[in-house]
Structures are given as structure tokens and as C-alpha cells.
Chain A
Amino acid sequence: MRVLSLGRWLRAGRVPPREPASRPSGHRHSGHRPQGPPQELPQGPSQVPPQKVSVEVLEHLEHLALVDFRDSEGVERLQKAIQFADQLHEVNTDGVEPMDSVLEDRCLYLREDDVTEGNCTKELLENARETVEEYFVAPPGNIPLVKLEGQKTFLQGSK
């Protein structure tokens, strides 16, 4: 007994599927690989024209993230990521509230402000590489990243 209504749409198929092996299968779909990227998968270019990210923004990002792009591939990756994300703008979200949490209908649990554990200074300091007595030791602060000699990021080097 077949589920006809389901069978109809499941077997019709919108886009030619990828065949895993060359052996003839009993399935109705013939084996052939889709030509080029599938249309429905949101991976192609979006409707919004791709925006080029300015060098200022890239530098700002490196500074905020304290992570560098390393090379042009890194920058390209960001461009692609932005392009991919631009597809969100195809969706009509008028009157829709942003969702912070799937548990938004419940009250967040707050426990009593009582100390229930602690006294683990020694264990916590064990994992740090540089400590002095009970302090974590950091190099001098308040020195902006960009003013250091010899420490050029990829972007600065390419200017």
C-alpha cells in the first residue's frame, strides 16, 4: 500500500539529486549530477549588491577581535560570509520581534545570593602560565595594538 499523495511529491523531485554510486538502483531517478549550484540552496549571490568592506572596517575588526586576517584569503572569507548573510534580507520580518531565547516564555532561574562554593584559588592559578602570589600577571596595558614596532598586521603591511 503506497502513500500516494506523499509519493507524488517525494518522487517528482524539484532538482536532480546527486547519485552516490554507479550501480543501477531500483529508484525512479536516473543518475546524473546536478549542473552547477542547486537553485534553492541559499548559497548563490543574494539580491543585495555585495558590499566591499573598507580597510578601516577591517582594521577595526582586527582590533576588536584581537584576531588578524592573516592573509587575503581571510579577507575574502569575510566577504563571502557577508554575502551569504545578506540573504537574510529577502525575508520579510515586519512586525516580528527578535527572539533571544527559545525559553522566552519561562522565568529565568535565579538562585539565592549565597556563597556555596569557592576556596579554589590554588586550582585556578594552576592553569595560568604566569602568576605572582595570587595574581595573574599581564604585560603592560593601555598600549594600543597599532603603535607597536615590528608587529604589523597583514592589512598594515599591504598599505
Chain B
Amino acid sequence: MGARLLGHALRSQVSAALKEGRVTPTELCQRCLALIKSTKFLNAYITVTEETALKQAEESEKRRKRGQPLGILDGIPIAVKDNFNTAGIETTCASNMLKGYISPYNATVVQKLLDQGAVLLGKTNLDEFAMGSGSTDGVFGPVRNPWSYSKQYKEKSVPKSHSEDEEYNWVITGGSSGGSAAAVSSFTCFAALGSDTGGSTRNPAAHCGVVGLKPTYGLISRHGLIPLVNSMDVPGILTRCVDDAAVLLGSLAGHDPKDSTTIQDDFKPFELPDLPDVSKLSIGIPKEYHAPGLSSEILSLWSKAADLFKNAGAKVVEVSLPHTRYSIVCYHVLCTAEVASNMARFDGLEYGHRSDVKDSTESMYAATRREGFNDVVRGRILSGNYFLLKQNYEKYFVKAQKVRRLIANDFGKVFGSGVDILLTPTTLSDAVPYTEFIQEDNRTRSAQDDILTQAANMAGLPAINVPTALSERGLPVGLQFIGRSFQEKQLLTVAKWFEKQVQFPVIQLEEAERHDNGVFQHQKSASFS
């Protein structure tokens, strides 16, 4: 099968193609925009910035013609989750509260990407204010997992009439960065930004079969990322291979004077070795991550992965993170408390939705917030305020902060004992059909789905989902690696080694193939089999 242009890996292929002039930035941009149109049913994008994207592509082309590209990202189409501010472009957080809100500035990470010539295709869909684990609770509707329409999934589905199949069998992307994951997975862009507070980048990455990186807290600037939980949020990176994640990380990491929670250490962008070596490493398998409800398929894959490392000479040991089961409860309290504070800024006065109620300031605020927020957001604000009441502050908020320390200490002890990387599942199962997912409410779902990803946010550690294999239903399953703080190079090296071992299959999407047909004959892809 001839390698497809839009399915290319960023660093090893499409960037080279741009450099050598085998494809122009404008052509690339046009193809992506056309594919976005024909995959509109996925509902991955809230805003498509066609005009500005084409302009950016034109500028990139001029630069490349002059032999002065800004770097490896010059001309590369990317997408950004709609909770990052983008100057002159609507930023909604998939909420009525911010419908029509045009950001007056670029988030630092967006600015960095634009400064390097990346082409911004649009803003992707999410759960309202990034609260959720399905990308189903935004005002623009749910995002559909591109794998629902893949040959691999359709082949395994119980045969029904064709239209019924697609309408009722489609599976969720996971969340809350589902739009970004779907955008990367369906080839409409080469990389996308997400955010990760409890697993919001890694969860959809696992369900959509893409690489999802959560960097160490403090490595990448949060300036311009509309905050959910200030002490846990990080911008997330979604790409189709680990090398590309390293490229994005290199462009985004580093101290930002506008975000005082970014560390001041110098960050040196790195390239990963072509032939990573894991034989000198110690891989920890935390037993508590064998959580109730973990599917036997994933359990088996996890076990096989451990074997892979052992056979390669790595030391594989069972470890314990005893407070894992309290992580989700702790998160519940700290998250709702910080949310209650962060959502207080939405009062209708300076930006966003404003109610018509004029009787008093407070009634206007209350009506605005009633009209602007969905039940999930409102529920979290109320819970958060409860935990912050004077009579509850010590009992809940401070208590949760203490438990947080215990969770972080668990990791500290394990890494201190000589373990370099932890290997765990990312999700409990493969993606479920939308009709099944919505049977439970948002809070229950989040509590179930975040269980394997949440603790890394608690401790601020870097973690990455690597697509591993297809489930029996033909859907992606990923495994997670958690590393030591600020040791992304080691983490990504291990992830790259693992990626090479598992050779995760390429999605066979009819729409993508139609757009890419036979135009680009190229040597075999470096990262796909």
C-alpha cells in the first residue's frame, strides 16, 4: 500500500517532504481542510479556521521557497483544543458561557507553535470546560471516535443494516480532549494540543489509537489555557508517533514569565535515539493498577508488555502505590474546590454570556451562570463550594491535600528505590458505544475512567499513552508509562522502544483513503507497519 501523505509521521516524513519540496504547505493545508469537511460527522472540530490557515500556509510556502523555514514545524497543520485562547478566533470551551467569545490573545503554547510556522486548522471539541471523560458533554454535541468507521471495527461488528450500524454503534473518543484525539487519529492534522488534568489527554489517546503525552507539571506554560485545576492542569500533546511528541515537546517546553508555575530550569529539546535501549532500565508494575473492572484483554496486553521488557534485558519488578485507590476521591475534592474558584470569573460582565436579567448584580450573575453552565459544571461548583465552607475546610479540602502528599510520596518511594519507569494500563477497557456511555452520569463515568490516569496528575509526573494493539472489537487499546519528574527524555525513549515493538496498525478509514489516493508515492513509513 503506498504510504499516504496525510498519514505520515511529522518528523520523519511530512517535514522531510516539505523540505524537499515534494509537497507544498498550501497543498498540505488544503488536503487537511478537505478531509475535515468530509469527516464532519466526527464532530471533532468546533471551529475550522480555513482562511487564516491558508494564509499561514501561504506564508510558510514563501519562507520555504526562500530557503528560510522557521523549523521542523513550518507549514505543518495542527489543531488546538478549544480551551486554549487563540487570538481573533472564537474560544468556547464547548460551553454556552463562552459562545461568541473571541480571545484577545494567544495562549503561550499556541503562540509558540505559530512562531514556528505551524498552520492552525481549527479548535477541537471537548467536554464542557474539560470536565468529563467522554467528550460527550459539550454544547456542540459529542465527538465520534474515527475508529467507529474503520474497516477494523466494522469487520468485528455484529452485522446489521449499514446505516443502523453506523448510527447506533459508534463509540466515544474518551475525554476530555476527544476532538483533538479524533483529529489526529483521522489524519486531519499531524499533531494537536489537548489538556490533561485527570487523564484528559491520555484517555482519548488510548481510545483513538494515538500517542498522548502528559508532560511534567511546570514544564509547559499554562498561560492562556482556561484553567480547571490550577495545581494539576497541563497542556497535553497528541500525535501519531512518539518521535512527533518529542518534536512538539521541544517546541513548547520551557519557562514562561507569564506563568509563574513553570520551572526556571533550562529545557534542552532532544531527539530520541533511533534504536532505543531498555536493557539497563528498571520497569515497575504497580499492583494497585490492576483495578476492578480492568478488562481481561488489557490485563493480558499489560502482562505481555512486561514480558517484552524482561526479554529485552530490563529489570521488571512489581511495586506498590498503596494510596492509589484514594486518588480518585482526593481528586474529586481538590478538583471541585479549584473549579469552584476558577469558575467564579464567569459572571457575564467582562466577557462571555450575559443574562438579560437587570434587577441586581447578583441576580444577573446567578442567571448568567444558570444559563451558561451545564449541569456537570454547576454540580462541580456546588460541590466545591461545599468542601470549602468554613466548617468543612479542614475536614475535606485540607484532608485531601494531605492525602495528595501521601499519593505523591508513594511515587517518590518507588522511584527512589531504583525504578525508572512505571508501566500500567491507560483505560479499563476499549471505547464503549455512546449509547452505553450515557447510561451513567458524568461524575460516575469520570470516577471510573480516570482511575488509572489520575494519580500522575496528583503527583505532577509525566505520563504517556502508547497505542498497543486492537481489542477483539477492533478498537485501540493503549498502555501507559509514567516517569520521574522532568525526565521526559527517558520516558519518551522507553515509549519509542515500546512503540517499535508493538507495531500498532494504521487505521483504515475510507474517507482518508479517498483524499490521499495514489498521489504520494513514498518509501515505507518509519513508524507504522
Contacting pair A70 B378 (CB below 8 A) = yes
Tell me how many residues of B have a C-beta within 8 Å of chain A.
Answer: 101
Contact with B along A63-92 (1 / 0, CB 8 A): 011111110001001101110110111110
The CA-CA distance from A89 to B403 in the complex, in Å, is 10
* Residue of A with least CB distance to B403: A91
Known: A2-B307, A20-B297. A96 touches B406 (CB 8 A): yes
Distance (whole angstroms) from the CB of A102 to the closest CB of chain B: 3
A108 beta carbon closer than 8 Å to chain B: yes
Write out, one digit per residue, whether chain B residues 360-403 have a CB within 8 A of any chain A CB (1) or not (0): 11111110011001010011011101110100000110111111
CA distance A67 to B346 in the complex (A): 11
Q: Flag if B406 contacts A101 (CB, 8 Å).
A: no
B259 to chain A, nearest CB (A): 8
- We find that the number of chain A residues with CB closer than 8 angstroms to chain B is 86
Which chain A residue shows the least CB distance to B308? A3
In the assembled complex, B20 has its CB within 8 A of some CB on chain A? no
- Chain B residue with the shortest CB-CB distance to A81: B383
Known: A100-B231, A111-B257. A136 touches B471 (CB 8 A): no
Of the candidates B306, B362, B400, B430, the one whose C-beta lies within 8 Å of that of A20 is B430
Whole-angstrom distance between the Cβ of A146 and the nearest chain B Cβ: 9
Q: Which residues of A contact B198 (CB under 8 A)?
A: none
The answer on a CB contact under 8 Å between B361 and A127 is no
Task: Report how far A122 CA is from B396 CA in the complex, Å.
Answer: 43
Q: Is the CB of B379 within 8 A of A77?
A: yes
- Whether B280 sits at the interface, judged by CB under 8 Å, is no
Indicate whether A98 sits within 8 Å of B402 (C-beta atoms), given known contacts A61-B386, A81-B336, A84-B329: yes
Residue of B nearest to A69 (CB): B382
Q: Does A115 contact B (CB under 8 A)?
A: no
In whole angstroms, what is the CA distance A103 to B264 when docked? Answer: 11
7 nearest A-B pairs in the assembled complex, by CB-CB distance: A38-B292, A102-B460, A98-B401, A143-B360, A93-B402, A127-B351, A99-B405
Residues of B near any A CB (own CB < 8 A): 101-102, 104, 156, 217-218, 231, 255, 257, 260-264, 285, 287, 290-297, 299-300, 302-303, 306-307, 310-311, 316, 318, 323, 325-326, 328-330, 332-333, 336, 340, 347-352, 354, 357-366, 369-370, 373, 375, 378-379, 381-383, 385-387, 389, 395-396, 398-406, 408, 428-430, 441, 443-444, 447-448, 451, 459-460, 471-473, 485
Residues of A within 8 A of B (CB): 1-3, 5-7, 9-11, 13-15, 17-21, 23, 25, 27, 29, 31, 34, 38-43, 53, 57, 60-62, 64-70, 74, 77-78, 80-82, 84-85, 87-91, 93, 96-103, 106, 108-111, 120, 123-124, 126-130, 136, 138-141, 143-145, 148, 151
Q: Can you show 5 pairs from A to B with CB atoms below 8 A apart?
A: A3-B316, A29-B299, A74-B379, A106-B263, A139-B358
